Amino acid sequence: MILTISTTHQPATDLGYLLHKNPSRMHSGEFGFGKVHVLYPEATEERCTAAMVMEVDPVGLVRGRKGQPGESGVLAQYVNDRPYSANSFMVTAIREFFGTAMNGRCKERPELAETAIPLTARLPSLRAKGGEAFVRALFEPLGYEVEARALPLDQEFPEWGDSPYVDLTLSATKRLSELLTHLYVLIPVLDMAKHYWIDEDEVEKLLKRGEGWLATHPQKESITRRYLRHRRLTNLALEQLVAPEGEEDADEQAEEAAAQEEAVERRVSLHDQRLNAVRDVILESGAKRVLDLGCGEGKLIRLLLKETQFEAVVGMDVSHVQLEKAHQRINPDRLPSRVASKLTLLHGSLVYRDARLTGFDAAAVVEVIEHLDEPRLAAFERVLFEFARPKLVVLTTPNREYNDLFEGLTGFRHRDHRFEWTRGEFEGWANGVAARFGYRAEFQPVGPVDPERGAPSQMGIFGIA
């Protein structure tokens, strides 16, 4: 089984830097399924080719392992196509040998890693369920020139028809990281052999690797279905890939938002102060049924579940990945059942009216509004203050005036923030909302107060008037 990658970009031997594999020697590694070697059959200034050669050991593969349901007996375990065709094992090898290149990193030639160069990949024996036509449907929309030839089952007996293998050559001017990423995702999509465990992490991996091309690929659905195999995971991924306008990257944004903001604000461990402050205001109000809107990975929910005063704690977020994380972190299965039974996690967006949000005493909206496009704020205002209408709303958002005091910060605290308000702007907005919907607004600083710039975070407390 072999994959070759060639370039005519000059000097072509720079391919060795891009792949982090020196052309003058062979690189080998042992894997559970056999041995993998990377070597360069040609390495001149004009043209350079790296070959990844895999020696799959079909006997080693089944040693110590029982036959899987659906496999046709012992013989199939020993006599199979794994040694001869490019398949999902190749994906493991690509990740191990070319992982850095796939991530677009190259210390020696960083600008070249960012540059589209002429590349050709050849897989002389690729297992392709769906045949030549499907191979084309996968690669052509990505801008590859595709040469695909179905291999006959047996050259002596053409009447037996084609095998499920194709001889594939892909050519395009692309960044090497793009080519590797496309192969990484699409080889298993074509192979579809079930030999590795697919769990929810795979959804995230697919979304990460699919960034920038999968959401607009005409075969998006087949790719996702075949890659993930499970209907539930497929749906999870597809829902994110077709997220409504303006929320395309909800998961990625949310994750980075959390990480980046935490980094910026670490010195004052502001986030914990903020969550404690929000919890305390809600506790004081005597609330029993509480919403956490834009709950992220559920930090506030964990605080709320510790308080016996609360009878229902409902978290909602637009990002499935965040909700899955919240579920894992809260781990309701490990909580006493009287605590776990208070919890509900909902998938939903705060800019759509939602009947599930009615009948609550209090709602927390912590560091969420700055992620909404300003024109959508009006929808959010009605969803929360007119329709859901909790007795108390506790809402926090960064105070932009304080940003100068964060070392090294230029611009917003996170690139997904659509705005960051001064105290005046926030109070102006909040008082307007309160007046329009019949609430009273009060304000509290969160974090250390600077005499001129105020506190890093600002909290608005809205009570029904």
Part of the chain binding ligand SAH (CB under 6 A), chosen from 5-13, 133-141, 363-371, 446-454: 363-371
Q: Which of 366, 392, 433, 459 binds ligand SAH (CB under 6 A)?
A: 366
Query: Using CA atoms, how far apart are residues 158 and 283, in angstroms rounded to an integer?
Result: 78
CA-closest candidate to residue 345, choices 308, 379, 304: 304
Minimum gap (Å) between residue 409 Cβ and ligand SAH: 18
The verdict on 318 binding ligand SAH (CB under 6 A) reads: yes
Which residues in 169-183 are b (16+ Cβ under 10 Å) and which e? bbbbebbbbbbbbbb
Strand ranges (E), 10-154? 27-31, 34-43, 48-56, 117-127, 145-152
Part of the chain binding ligand SAH (CB under 6 A), chosen from 89-97, 293-301, 420-428, 446-454: 293-301
Q: Which of 279, 299, 342, 417 binds ligand SAH (CB under 6 A)?
A: 299
Q: Which residues, listed in sequence order, are joined to residue 122 by a DSSP beta bridge?
A: 4, 169
Minimum gap (Å) between residue 348 Cβ and ligand SAH: 7
Between 363 and 441, name the residue whose CB sits nearer to ligand SAH.
363
Between 178 and 370, name the residue whose CB sits nearer to ligand SAH.
370
Region of residue 128 (left: phi > 0; alpha: psi -120 to 50; beta: else)? beta
Between 295 and 388, name the residue whose CB sits nearer to ligand SAH.
295
* Count of beta carbons in the 10 Å neighbourhood of residue 436: 12
CA-closest candidate to residue 305, choices 334, 335, 271, 327: 335
Q: Which of 6, 85, 319, 399 binds ligand SAH (CB under 6 A)?
A: 319
Taking the CA atoms of 305, 257, 100 and 48 in sequence, report the sign of the dihedral they define. Answer: positive
CA-closest candidate to residue 180, choices 91, 241, 50, 252: 91
Part of the chain binding ligand SAH (CB under 6 A), chosen from 69-77, 111-119, 140-148, 289-297: 289-297
Residue with tokens 């919907």, as numbered in its chain? 437
Burial class (CB in 10 A: 0-12, 13-18, 19+), 399: buried
The verdict on 351 binding ligand SAH (CB under 6 A) reads: yes
Between 254 and 264, name the residue whose CB sits nearer to ligand SAH.
254
147 CB-near residues (< 8 Å, 6+ apart): 168, 169, 170, 171
Describe the crossing of helices 176-191 and 88-102 by its angle, rounded to 10 degrees. Answer: 160
Part of the chain binding ligand SAH (CB under 6 A), chosen from 12-20, 98-106, 336-344, 348-356: 348-356
The verdict on 101 binding ligand SAH (CB under 6 A) reads: no
- On whether the CB atoms of residues 356 and 326 are closer than 8 A, the answer is no
Q: What residues between 368 and 427 interact with ligand SAH by CB under 6 A? A: 368, 371-372
Q: How far is CA 103 from the centre of its chain?
A: 14
Question: Pattern 221-250, binding to ligand SAH, x per CB under 6 A?
Answer: -----------------------------x
Minimum gap (Å) between residue 198 Cβ and ligand SAH: 24
Minimum gap (Å) between residue 372 Cβ and ligand SAH: 6
Minimum gap (Å) between residue 257 Cβ and ligand SAH: 5
Minimum gap (Å) between residue 323 Cβ and ligand SAH: 9
Minimum gap (Å) between residue 443 Cβ and ligand SAH: 18
Stretch (H or E) spanning 74 = helix 73-78
Q: Which of 191, 204, 361, 367 binds ligand SAH (CB under 6 A)?
A: 367
Minimum gap (Å) between residue 230 Cβ and ligand SAH: 23
- CB-nearest residue to ligand SAH: 296
Part of the chain binding ligand SAH (CB under 6 A), chosen from 6-14, 125-133, 335-343, 366-374: 366-374
Query: Using CA atoms, how far apart are residues 185 and 181, in angstroms rounded to an integer?
Result: 6
Query: Using CA atoms, how far apart are residues 320 and 422, in angstroms rounded to an integer?
Result: 31
Size of the site for ligand SAH (CB under 6 A): 20
The verdict on 166 binding ligand SAH (CB under 6 A) reads: no
The verdict on 349 binding ligand SAH (CB under 6 A) reads: yes
CA-closest candidate to residue 9, choices 205, 179, 227: 179
Part of the chain binding ligand SAH (CB under 6 A), chosen from 175-183, 262-270, 317-325, 330-338: 317-325
215 secondary structure, DSSP code: T
Stretch (H or E) spanning 267 = none
Minimum gap (Å) between residue 258 Cβ and ligand SAH: 6
The verdict on 304 binding ligand SAH (CB under 6 A) reads: no
- Within the chain, how many helices (H) and strands (E) appear? 17, 14
Q: What residues between 246 and 265 interact with ligand SAH by CB under 6 A? A: 250, 254, 257-258
Between 56 and 275, name the residue whose CB sits nearer to ligand SAH.
275
The verdict on 164 binding ligand SAH (CB under 6 A) reads: no
Query: Using CA atoms, how far apart are residues 166 and 123, in angstroms rounded to an integer?
Result: 8
* Residues lying near ligand SAH in the complex (CB under 6 A): 250, 254, 257-258, 294-296, 299, 317-319, 322, 349-351, 366-368, 371-372
